Amino acid sequence: MTPQFVDGNKLLLLRNGTDYFPALQQAIDAAKGEIYLETYIFRDDGTGQAIAAALARAARRGVVVRVLVDGFGCKDHFAEIRERLLAANVQVLIYRPKISPLTLRRNRLRRMHRKLVVIDARVAFAGGINIIDDMDTPGDNPPRYDYAVRIEGPLLAPIVEEVERLWFRGARAWASRRRRRRDKRIVAVDAAPRGSQRAALVVRDNLRHRSDIEDAYLAAIGKARVEIIIANAYFFPGARFRRALLDAARRGVRVTLLLQGRVEYFLQHYASRAFYGPLLDAGVEIYEYKHGFMHAKVAVIDQRWSTVGSSNIDPFSLLLAREANIVVDDQPFAQELRRNLQQDMASGAMIIAQSAWRNQPWLERALIWASYNFARMLLGLTGYAERQ
Protein backbone atom coordinates (compact mmCIF):
# COMPACT_ATOMS: atom_id res chain seq x y z
CA MET A 1 0.00 0.00 0.00
CA THR A 2 1.33 3.46 -0.94
CA PRO A 3 1.99 5.71 2.09
CA GLN A 4 -0.77 8.29 2.57
CA PHE A 5 1.21 11.53 2.83
CA VAL A 6 -0.35 14.59 4.45
CA ASP A 7 1.00 18.15 4.36
CA GLY A 8 1.21 20.79 7.05
CA ASN A 9 3.11 18.93 9.76
CA LYS A 10 5.72 20.12 12.23
CA LEU A 11 8.33 17.41 12.83
CA LEU A 12 11.22 17.52 15.28
CA LEU A 13 13.99 14.93 14.97
CA LEU A 14 15.05 13.58 18.37
CA ARG A 15 18.43 11.90 18.66
CA ASN A 16 18.80 9.26 21.37
CA GLY A 17 17.00 9.22 24.69
CA THR A 18 18.91 12.31 25.73
CA ASP A 19 16.62 14.28 23.40
CA TYR A 20 13.58 12.03 23.56
CA PHE A 21 12.89 11.48 27.24
CA PRO A 22 12.94 15.15 28.35
CA ALA A 23 10.59 16.03 25.45
CA LEU A 24 8.32 13.09 26.29
CA GLN A 25 8.17 13.89 30.00
CA GLN A 26 7.48 17.56 29.30
CA ALA A 27 4.56 16.61 27.04
CA ILE A 28 3.17 14.16 29.62
CA ASP A 29 3.37 16.80 32.35
CA ALA A 30 1.44 19.22 30.13
CA ALA A 31 -1.33 16.70 29.30
CA LYS A 32 -4.86 17.74 30.16
CA GLY A 33 -7.14 15.00 28.82
CA GLU A 34 -5.73 11.75 27.43
CA ILE A 35 -2.46 9.87 26.91
CA TYR A 36 -1.76 6.71 24.90
CA LEU A 37 1.68 5.12 25.23
CA GLU A 38 2.79 2.00 23.35
CA THR A 39 6.21 0.46 23.90
CA TYR A 40 7.88 -2.91 23.45
CA ILE A 41 10.01 -2.51 26.60
CA PHE A 42 9.13 -0.54 29.73
CA ARG A 43 12.01 -1.19 32.06
CA ASP A 44 12.06 -0.63 35.81
CA ASP A 45 15.16 1.57 35.79
CA GLY A 46 15.80 5.27 36.33
CA THR A 47 14.24 6.32 33.04
CA GLY A 48 11.31 3.93 33.34
CA GLN A 49 10.59 5.12 36.86
CA ALA A 50 10.71 8.77 35.79
CA ILE A 51 8.29 8.22 32.89
CA ALA A 52 6.03 6.06 35.08
CA ALA A 53 5.98 8.81 37.71
CA ALA A 54 5.01 11.38 35.07
CA LEU A 55 2.20 9.11 33.83
CA ALA A 56 1.00 8.57 37.40
CA ARG A 57 0.99 12.34 38.06
CA ALA A 58 -1.08 12.84 34.92
CA ALA A 59 -3.60 10.17 35.97
CA ARG A 60 -3.92 11.64 39.47
CA ARG A 61 -4.83 15.04 38.04
CA GLY A 62 -7.61 13.47 35.99
CA VAL A 63 -5.93 12.64 32.67
CA VAL A 64 -7.00 9.29 31.18
CA VAL A 65 -3.73 7.40 30.73
CA ARG A 66 -3.53 4.19 28.70
CA VAL A 67 -0.31 2.18 28.52
CA LEU A 68 0.14 -0.79 26.16
CA VAL A 69 3.29 -2.93 26.44
CA ASP A 70 4.39 -6.17 24.84
CA GLY A 71 4.16 -9.36 26.86
CA PHE A 72 7.55 -10.64 25.73
CA GLY A 73 9.43 -7.34 25.74
CA CYS A 74 8.27 -6.65 29.30
CA LYS A 75 8.12 -10.18 30.69
CA ASP A 76 10.99 -9.79 33.17
CA HIS A 77 10.98 -6.16 34.31
CA PHE A 78 7.54 -4.58 34.32
CA ALA A 79 5.64 -6.07 37.27
CA GLU A 80 6.51 -3.40 39.86
CA ILE A 81 6.10 -0.52 37.39
CA ARG A 82 2.71 -1.96 36.42
CA GLU A 83 1.55 -2.06 40.03
CA ARG A 84 2.58 1.56 40.58
CA LEU A 85 0.76 2.63 37.41
CA LEU A 86 -2.40 0.74 38.36
CA ALA A 87 -2.31 2.26 41.84
CA ALA A 88 -2.37 5.71 40.21
CA ASN A 89 -5.40 4.73 38.08
CA VAL A 90 -3.38 4.31 34.88
CA GLN A 91 -4.97 1.78 32.53
CA VAL A 92 -2.47 -0.91 31.52
CA LEU A 93 -2.78 -3.62 28.87
CA ILE A 94 -0.20 -6.28 27.96
CA TYR A 95 -0.11 -7.41 24.33
CA ARG A 96 -0.04 -11.22 24.18
CA PRO A 97 0.88 -11.71 27.84
CA LYS A 98 1.09 -15.50 27.66
CA ILE A 99 4.45 -16.64 26.33
CA SER A 100 4.26 -20.16 24.94
CA PRO A 101 7.20 -22.50 25.58
CA LEU A 102 6.66 -23.57 21.96
CA THR A 103 8.22 -20.33 20.82
CA LEU A 104 8.23 -21.29 17.15
CA ARG A 105 4.45 -21.09 16.94
CA ARG A 106 3.58 -18.22 14.62
CA ASN A 107 0.96 -16.61 16.85
CA ARG A 108 3.38 -16.49 19.78
CA LEU A 109 6.11 -14.93 17.67
CA ARG A 110 3.88 -12.01 16.70
CA ARG A 111 4.71 -9.14 19.02
CA MET A 112 3.87 -5.46 19.51
CA HIS A 113 7.16 -3.72 18.71
CA ARG A 114 5.80 -0.19 18.12
CA LYS A 115 6.90 2.89 20.04
CA LEU A 116 4.06 5.40 19.72
CA VAL A 117 2.85 8.05 22.16
CA VAL A 118 -0.13 10.37 21.67
CA ILE A 119 -0.90 13.16 24.13
CA ASP A 120 -4.21 15.04 24.08
CA ALA A 121 -4.53 14.08 20.39
CA ARG A 122 -2.40 17.15 19.62
CA VAL A 123 1.19 15.89 19.82
CA ALA A 124 2.66 12.47 19.08
CA PHE A 125 6.01 10.73 19.31
CA ALA A 126 7.17 7.84 17.12
CA GLY A 127 10.46 6.05 16.57
CA GLY A 128 12.60 3.24 17.84
CA ILE A 129 13.24 4.24 21.47
CA ASN A 130 11.87 2.02 24.23
CA ILE A 131 11.22 3.22 27.77
CA ILE A 132 14.65 2.23 29.03
CA ASP A 133 17.65 3.98 30.54
CA ASP A 134 19.54 5.45 27.61
CA MET A 135 22.77 5.64 29.58
CA ASP A 136 22.74 2.09 30.95
CA THR A 137 24.69 0.27 28.24
CA PRO A 138 26.96 -2.30 29.91
CA GLY A 139 30.15 -2.80 27.96
CA ASP A 140 29.45 0.12 25.61
CA ASN A 141 29.62 3.88 25.52
CA PRO A 142 26.30 5.57 26.32
CA PRO A 143 23.89 6.72 25.17
CA ARG A 144 22.10 4.13 23.06
CA TYR A 145 22.13 5.22 19.43
CA ASP A 146 18.54 5.68 18.28
CA TYR A 147 16.02 8.18 16.91
CA ALA A 148 12.46 9.37 17.42
CA VAL A 149 10.36 12.19 16.02
CA ARG A 150 7.92 14.61 17.70
CA ILE A 151 4.86 15.27 15.54
CA GLU A 152 2.23 18.00 15.37
CA GLY A 153 -0.27 18.61 12.58
CA PRO A 154 -2.58 16.63 10.29
CA LEU A 155 -0.53 13.43 10.69
CA LEU A 156 -2.05 13.22 14.18
CA ALA A 157 -5.32 11.95 12.68
CA PRO A 158 -4.05 8.56 11.39
CA ILE A 159 -1.74 8.13 14.41
CA VAL A 160 -4.62 8.65 16.86
CA GLU A 161 -6.81 6.28 14.85
CA GLU A 162 -4.08 3.63 14.91
CA VAL A 163 -3.35 3.76 18.66
CA GLU A 164 -7.05 3.82 19.49
CA ARG A 165 -7.73 0.82 17.25
CA LEU A 166 -5.07 -1.32 18.91
CA TRP A 167 -5.95 -0.20 22.44
CA PHE A 168 -9.68 -0.88 22.13
CA ARG A 169 -9.07 -4.15 20.40
CA GLY A 170 -7.08 -5.25 23.45
CA ALA A 171 -9.51 -3.66 25.90
CA ARG A 172 -12.48 -5.45 24.35
CA ALA A 173 -10.64 -8.74 24.59
CA TRP A 174 -10.34 -8.21 28.34
CA ALA A 175 -13.81 -6.79 28.90
CA SER A 176 -16.92 -8.80 29.65
CA ARG A 177 -19.28 -9.43 26.73
CA ARG A 178 -21.85 -6.86 27.90
CA ARG A 179 -19.17 -4.17 28.22
CA ARG A 180 -17.75 -4.72 24.75
CA ARG A 181 -18.35 -1.31 23.24
CA ARG A 182 -16.01 1.36 21.95
CA ASP A 183 -15.40 4.13 24.46
CA LYS A 184 -16.00 7.65 23.25
CA ARG A 185 -12.96 9.71 22.37
CA ILE A 186 -12.12 11.98 25.29
CA VAL A 187 -10.51 14.79 23.34
CA ALA A 188 -10.91 15.89 19.73
CA VAL A 189 -7.99 15.35 17.39
CA ASP A 190 -6.04 18.55 16.76
CA ALA A 191 -5.10 17.98 13.12
CA ALA A 192 -4.74 21.64 12.18
CA PRO A 193 -1.63 22.53 10.13
CA ARG A 194 1.37 23.30 12.33
CA GLY A 195 4.15 23.48 9.77
CA SER A 196 5.06 22.73 6.18
CA GLN A 197 6.39 19.16 6.28
CA ARG A 198 4.87 16.27 4.34
CA ALA A 199 4.77 12.92 6.12
CA ALA A 200 2.93 9.61 6.43
CA LEU A 201 2.35 6.95 9.05
CA VAL A 202 3.21 3.46 7.80
CA VAL A 203 2.37 0.45 9.97
CA ARG A 204 2.88 -3.29 9.74
CA ASP A 205 0.28 -5.71 11.06
CA ASN A 206 -1.01 -9.16 10.21
CA LEU A 207 -4.13 -8.00 8.38
CA ARG A 208 -4.28 -5.23 5.76
CA HIS A 209 -0.74 -3.94 6.22
CA ARG A 210 1.43 -7.04 6.17
CA SER A 211 4.14 -5.61 3.90
CA ASP A 212 3.52 -1.85 3.96
CA ILE A 213 6.81 -0.86 5.64
CA GLU A 214 8.91 -3.11 3.42
CA ASP A 215 7.00 -1.89 0.35
CA ALA A 216 7.63 1.75 1.31
CA TYR A 217 11.36 1.04 1.56
CA LEU A 218 11.41 -0.85 -1.74
CA ALA A 219 9.53 1.88 -3.60
CA ALA A 220 11.92 4.55 -2.35
CA ILE A 221 15.00 2.42 -3.08
CA GLY A 222 13.68 1.70 -6.57
CA LYS A 223 13.35 5.43 -7.29
CA ALA A 224 16.74 6.40 -5.83
CA ARG A 225 19.08 8.16 -8.22
CA VAL A 226 21.99 9.43 -6.13
CA GLU A 227 22.26 8.09 -2.58
CA ILE A 228 20.76 5.61 -0.11
CA ILE A 229 21.76 5.62 3.56
CA ILE A 230 20.18 3.00 5.82
CA ALA A 231 20.98 2.70 9.52
CA ASN A 232 19.48 -0.43 11.02
CA ALA A 233 20.35 -2.35 14.14
CA TYR A 234 19.12 -5.81 13.12
CA PHE A 235 19.77 -6.43 9.43
CA PHE A 236 18.64 -9.71 7.90
CA PRO A 237 16.92 -8.64 4.68
CA GLY A 238 14.80 -10.87 2.49
CA ALA A 239 15.47 -11.56 -1.17
CA ARG A 240 13.40 -8.63 -2.47
CA PHE A 241 15.20 -6.17 -0.25
CA ARG A 242 18.63 -7.51 -1.16
CA ARG A 243 17.86 -7.34 -4.86
CA ALA A 244 16.65 -3.76 -4.53
CA LEU A 245 19.90 -2.68 -2.86
CA LEU A 246 22.04 -4.55 -5.39
CA ASP A 247 20.08 -3.09 -8.32
CA ALA A 248 20.47 0.43 -6.91
CA ALA A 249 24.22 0.01 -6.47
CA ARG A 250 24.61 -1.38 -10.00
CA ARG A 251 22.81 1.58 -11.57
CA GLY A 252 25.25 3.95 -9.89
CA VAL A 253 23.46 4.89 -6.67
CA ARG A 254 25.79 5.24 -3.68
CA VAL A 255 24.40 2.76 -1.14
CA THR A 256 25.61 2.98 2.46
CA LEU A 257 24.59 0.72 5.33
CA LEU A 258 25.26 1.57 8.98
CA LEU A 259 24.79 -1.64 10.98
CA GLN A 260 25.30 -2.95 14.48
CA GLY A 261 28.96 -3.57 15.25
CA ARG A 262 28.71 -5.14 18.69
CA VAL A 263 27.66 -8.72 19.34
CA GLU A 264 24.30 -8.36 21.07
CA TYR A 265 22.57 -11.52 19.84
CA PHE A 266 25.18 -14.03 18.72
CA LEU A 267 23.09 -15.80 16.07
CA GLN A 268 21.67 -12.63 14.57
CA HIS A 269 25.05 -10.89 14.50
CA TYR A 270 26.87 -13.61 12.58
CA ALA A 271 23.94 -14.68 10.38
CA SER A 272 23.46 -11.14 9.08
CA ARG A 273 27.10 -10.96 8.02
CA ALA A 274 26.43 -13.65 5.42
CA PHE A 275 24.99 -10.89 3.23
CA TYR A 276 28.09 -8.72 3.32
CA GLY A 277 30.00 -10.39 0.47
CA PRO A 278 27.47 -9.88 -2.37
CA LEU A 279 26.70 -6.36 -1.15
CA LEU A 280 30.37 -5.36 -1.00
CA ASP A 281 30.97 -6.92 -4.43
CA ALA A 282 28.21 -4.71 -5.86
CA GLY A 283 29.82 -1.58 -4.39
CA VAL A 284 27.65 -1.15 -1.28
CA GLU A 285 29.51 0.57 1.56
CA ILE A 286 29.02 -1.14 4.93
CA TYR A 287 29.85 0.53 8.23
CA GLU A 288 29.60 -1.18 11.61
CA TYR A 289 28.81 1.09 14.54
CA LYS A 290 31.40 0.44 17.25
CA HIS A 291 31.13 3.43 19.57
CA GLY A 292 28.21 2.11 21.58
CA PHE A 293 24.92 0.24 21.54
CA MET A 294 23.09 0.84 18.25
CA HIS A 295 19.30 0.54 18.12
CA ALA A 296 18.44 2.87 15.20
CA LYS A 297 15.95 2.10 12.40
CA VAL A 298 16.21 5.07 10.03
CA ALA A 299 17.01 5.81 6.39
CA VAL A 300 17.60 8.74 4.02
CA ILE A 301 17.28 8.52 0.24
CA ASP A 302 18.36 11.24 -2.20
CA GLN A 303 18.36 13.79 0.65
CA ARG A 304 14.56 13.99 0.37
CA TRP A 305 12.86 10.75 1.46
CA SER A 306 13.50 9.60 5.02
CA THR A 307 12.02 7.32 7.63
CA VAL A 308 12.22 7.06 11.42
CA GLY A 309 10.52 4.19 13.16
CA SER A 310 10.49 0.92 15.06
CA SER A 311 10.97 -1.51 12.16
CA ASN A 312 14.22 -3.34 11.67
CA ILE A 313 15.06 -4.93 8.34
CA ASP A 314 14.70 -8.49 9.52
CA PRO A 315 11.99 -11.18 9.59
CA PHE A 316 10.84 -10.24 13.10
CA SER A 317 9.94 -6.69 12.08
CA LEU A 318 9.00 -7.16 8.42
CA LEU A 319 7.03 -10.41 8.76
CA LEU A 320 5.92 -10.83 12.38
CA ALA A 321 5.72 -7.78 14.61
CA ARG A 322 3.41 -4.79 14.79
CA GLU A 323 5.58 -1.86 13.75
CA ALA A 324 5.16 1.85 13.07
CA ASN A 325 7.37 4.12 10.95
CA ILE A 326 7.04 7.75 10.02
CA VAL A 327 7.97 8.38 6.37
CA VAL A 328 8.91 11.98 5.59
CA ASP A 329 9.02 13.71 2.21
CA ASP A 330 10.91 16.84 3.22
CA GLN A 331 14.40 17.94 2.25
CA PRO A 332 15.43 19.85 5.42
CA PHE A 333 14.34 16.96 7.67
CA ALA A 334 16.15 14.41 5.49
CA GLN A 335 19.29 16.54 5.38
CA GLU A 336 19.34 16.89 9.17
CA LEU A 337 19.05 13.13 9.62
CA ARG A 338 21.70 12.58 6.95
CA ARG A 339 24.13 14.95 8.73
CA ASN A 340 23.64 13.04 11.96
CA LEU A 341 24.28 9.71 10.26
CA GLN A 342 27.38 10.94 8.46
CA GLN A 343 28.83 12.41 11.65
CA ASP A 344 28.26 9.17 13.54
CA MET A 345 29.71 7.03 10.78
CA ALA A 346 32.81 9.23 10.82
CA SER A 347 33.22 9.27 14.59
CA GLY A 348 31.81 5.95 15.79
CA ALA A 349 31.81 3.41 12.98
CA MET A 350 34.31 1.25 11.08
CA ILE A 351 34.02 0.66 7.35
CA ILE A 352 34.20 -2.95 6.17
CA ALA A 353 36.83 -3.13 3.43
CA GLN A 354 36.09 -5.55 0.62
CA SER A 355 39.68 -6.83 0.57
CA ALA A 356 39.71 -7.53 4.30
CA TRP A 357 36.32 -9.22 4.07
CA ARG A 358 37.55 -11.56 1.32
CA ASN A 359 40.61 -12.47 3.40
CA GLN A 360 38.88 -13.12 6.71
CA PRO A 361 39.92 -16.32 8.56
CA TRP A 362 38.19 -19.55 7.55
CA LEU A 363 36.90 -20.01 11.12
CA GLU A 364 35.09 -16.68 10.91
CA ARG A 365 33.59 -17.68 7.56
CA ALA A 366 32.44 -21.02 8.98
CA LEU A 367 30.81 -19.29 11.95
CA ILE A 368 28.95 -16.87 9.67
CA TRP A 369 27.58 -19.54 7.36
CA ALA A 370 26.68 -21.90 10.19
CA SER A 371 24.75 -19.08 11.87
CA TYR A 372 23.07 -18.11 8.61
CA ASN A 373 21.95 -21.66 7.86
CA PHE A 374 20.70 -22.17 11.39
CA ALA A 375 18.73 -18.92 11.18
CA ARG A 376 17.25 -20.07 7.87
CA MET A 377 16.27 -23.37 9.47
CA LEU A 378 14.46 -21.54 12.26
CA LEU A 379 12.63 -19.43 9.69
CA GLY A 380 11.64 -22.58 7.86
CA LEU A 381 10.17 -24.07 11.02
CA THR A 382 8.00 -20.97 11.49
CA GLY A 383 6.92 -21.02 7.84
CA TYR A 384 8.45 -17.66 6.95
CA ALA A 385 11.52 -18.81 5.04
CA GLU A 386 9.75 -18.41 1.71
CA ARG A 387 10.00 -14.63 2.09
CA GLN A 388 13.76 -14.72 2.74
Q: Which of 212, 297, 314, 344 is catalytic?
A: 297
- Active site includes 295? yes
Q: Which residues pair with 246 in a beta bridge?
A: none
Q: Which of 19, 70, 120, 205 is catalytic?
A: 120
Q: Which of 45, 136, 247, 302 is catalytic?
A: 302
What is the C-alpha to C-alpha distance for residues 84 and 75, in angstroms, rounded to an integer? 16
- Strand intervals (E) in 139-296: 141-145, 147-152, 197-204, 227-232, 254-260, 285-289, 292-294
- Active site includes 291? no
What is the C-alpha to C-alpha distance for residues 354 and 147, in angstroms, rounded to an integer? 29
| Residue whose C-alpha is closest to residue 283's, from 306, 249, 257 | 249
Q: Which of 19, 44, 70, 115 is catalytic?
A: 115
- Active site includes 281? no
3-state secondary structure of 185: coil
- Active site includes 184? no
What is the C-alpha to C-alpha distance for residues 255 and 239, in angstroms, rounded to an integer? 17
State the pairing for strand pair 116-119/34-39: antiparallel
- Active site includes 115? yes
Q: Which of 295, 314, 330, 344 is catalytic?
A: 295
Q: Which of 19, 70, 113, 330 is catalytic?
A: 113
What is the C-alpha to C-alpha distance for residues 173 and 68, in angstroms, rounded to an integer? 13
| Residue whose C-alpha is closest to residue 10's, from 213, 146, 191, 203 | 191
Q: Cβ(381)–Cβ(106) under 8 Å?
A: no
Catalytic residues: 113, 115, 120, 295, 297, 302
